[in-house]
């Protein structure tokens, strides 16, 4: 296929990938000229954050272990107050999308440099995108001010990620790559990365679930997640991400699990307007049909398949469809409220994508 004209803008992030790479954190702080790090984490990962702060010694100025899903503005304001109180000159976010999102929210308000240390496959660390929740609705914005300066991928930190969370976090990552394949700003470079990413995760995730401490499988999955995050950072997202933002921000559904359930149905909705993207997705999955292949992969991982199992009530489907259709993201197929309502009904019930 002939390559037509395109525009590609690389993002200025430094990536350190491998095993045992967390040991390079002091060196990376030095490169940034930083000496008062605020270490960020969720309450569940507070012990890891404090252990990391202990390892940093005087370079760690404090720990904020209050990050939560969907980055509520009030949490960001509390973390910001602590950053100012201790005179932080850098944030170090250790964890998944919730923690990295908090680091971005602080950077948006202060322009503090960030080092991200992902322990899941969410991909937020590679994007100049921050999503924040206020008044029950989640909004996103793009700004280079929120792109982490350094990302340290340490395969060892993912070995203890529970199989169930590995599965949904990995499916969440795949969603970034699938939508990158039909994004309006797409280009051949991003498409190469997206197809490679889907393939790496489709190879790695089943082995990770079967043997969580398989280093080679974990490396494949983390490599795929990095590429998926890079795709998310380089192009805009479409219907799938809009639906997930609505379900998370307005109905409180868990982030990665929601992405896992919605993805096959969003792919089916867009299939007629994104045939080449679906072909490449299916090829990367080793499947004949992309939406069914995504559903089958999620099912094989033991991941959730129905929104009702995540706590969404059937009576919420009308309101969810209304919010999703109100301000749609650019999408290869027109957004119609009735069709979105049918998509959500299928996702709610957990039926295979039609």
- Which CATH architecture describes the domain 163-349? Up-down Bundle (1.20)
Q: How many degrees, rounded to 5, is the angle at CA 299 between CA 293 and CA 304? A: 125
Q: Name the strands in the sheet holding 150-154, side by side, starting at the edge strand that comes first in the sequence.
A: 14-18, 150-154, 114-118, 90-95, 37-40, 60-64
pLDDT score of 19 more than 70:
yes
pLDDT score of 4 more than 80:
no
Encoded tokens for 178:
């699938």
Read off the pLDDT band of 1 (50, 70, 90): low
pLDDT for 5? 85
User: By the 8 A CB rule, do 63 and 49 touch?
Assistant: yes
pLDDT score of 354 more than 90:
no
Distance, in Å, from the CA atom of 340 to the CA atom of 146, rounded to the nearest integer, reads 31
Instruction: Quote the mean pLDDT of the chain.
Output: 95
pLDDT for 69? 87
pLDDT for 311? 97
pLDDT score of 2 more than 80:
no
How is the chain split into domains, by residue range? Answer: 14-158, 163-349
Fold of 14-158: Rossmann fold (3.40.50)
User: By the 8 A CB rule, do 244 and 178 touch?
Assistant: no
Read off the pLDDT band of 280 (50, 70, 90): very high
Strand 137-142 and strand 129-134: the pairing is antiparallel
pLDDT for 3? 74
């Amino acid at each position: 296929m002939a390559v037509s004209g395109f525009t590609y803008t690389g993002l200025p992030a430094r990536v350190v990938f491998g095993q045992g790479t967390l040991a390079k954190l002091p060196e990376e702080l030095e490169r940034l000229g930083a000496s008062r790090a605020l270490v960020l984490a969720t309450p569940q990962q507070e012990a890891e954050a404090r252990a990391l702060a202990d390892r940093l010694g005087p370079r760690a100025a404090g720990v904020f272990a209050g990050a939560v899903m969907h980055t509520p503005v009030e949490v960001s304001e509390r973390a910001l107050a602590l950053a100012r109180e201790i005179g932080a000159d850098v944030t170090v976010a250790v964890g998944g999308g919730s923690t990295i999102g908090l680091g971005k929210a602080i950077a948006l308000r202060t322009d503090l440099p960030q080092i991200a240390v992902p322990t899941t496959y969410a991909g937020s660390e590679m994007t100049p995108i921050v999503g924040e929740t206020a008044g029950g609705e989640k909004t996103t914005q793009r700004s280079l001010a929120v792109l982490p300066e350094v990302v340290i991928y340490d395969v060892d930190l993912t070995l203890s990620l529970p199989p169930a969370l590995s599965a949904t976090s990995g499916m969440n990552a795949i969603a970034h790559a699938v939508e990158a394949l039909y994004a309006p700003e797409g280009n051949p470079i991003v498409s190469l990365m997206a197809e490679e990413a889907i393939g790496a995760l489709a190879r790695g995730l089943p082995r990770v679930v079967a043997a969580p401490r398989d280093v080679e499988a974990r490396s494949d999955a983390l490599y795929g997640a990095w590429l998926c995050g890079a795709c998310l950072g380089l192009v805009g997202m479409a219907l799938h991400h809009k639906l997930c933002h609505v379900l998370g921000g307005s109905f409180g559904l868990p982030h990665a699990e929601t992405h896992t359930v919605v993805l096959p149905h969003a792919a089916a909705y867009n299939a007629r307007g994104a045939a080449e993207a679906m072909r490449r997705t299916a090829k990367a999955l080793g499947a004949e049909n992309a939406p069914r292949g995504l559903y089958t992969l999620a099912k094989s991982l033991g991941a959730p398949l129905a929104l009702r199992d995540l706590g969404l009530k059937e009576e919420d489907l009308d309101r969810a469809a209304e919010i999703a259709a109100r301000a749609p993201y650019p999408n290869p197929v027109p957004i119609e409220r009735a069709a979105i309502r049918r998509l959500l009904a299928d996702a709610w019930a957990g039926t295979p994508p039609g």
